[in-house]
Amino acid sequence: MRVVCDTNVLVSGVLFNGPPRRVLVMASQGLVTNYTSPALLREAEDVLLRPKFGLRPEQALRIIALFRETFEIVTPSERVHAVPSDPADNRVLEAAQAAAAGVIISGDKHLLDLGEWKNIRILSPAAFLRRSAETLP
């Protein structure tokens, strides 16, 4: 299954336990294929460098390097304007469209409120894990 994880899922997944971490473990086990884009990687790097997380710059860069090595990277060719209240969320939709993803995994209210976009389901990490338990071996 092709998925795109929003930045909040990536950051939470590497820094904390819980559903976002389990989603990343699924990707590391090959149960899902996680796609990302250069714009999402830049956003993840910016977030990881925030002082509140207490990471040294080299730690944040190592995490981004791991994402680059383990995720499939797509370069969206089409700009999306589906979330006017938070334009940065459109980058997630663009990546999902370019990846032909079936699911976007996000904790972002603006995206979750969409529920689905262009036949791409938008689920929280916990909802994704529940659905995956029903469908994956």
Q: 3-state DSSP call for residue 120? A: strand
pLDDT digits (tens, 9 = 90+) for 9-61: 999 999 999 999 999 999 999 999 999 999 999 999 999 999 999 999 999 99
CATH number of the structural domain spanning residue 35: 3.40.50.1010
User: Average pLDDT over the chain, rounded to whole?
Assistant: 95
pLDDT digits (tens, 9 = 90+) for 3-18: 999 999 999 999 999 9
* pTM (predicted TM-score): 0.94
Say if residue 137's pLDDT is above 80: no
For range 102-121, the mean pLDDT: 97
CB 62, CB 14: distance < 8 Å: no
* Total domains in the fold of the chain: 1
- What's the domain range around 102? 2-135
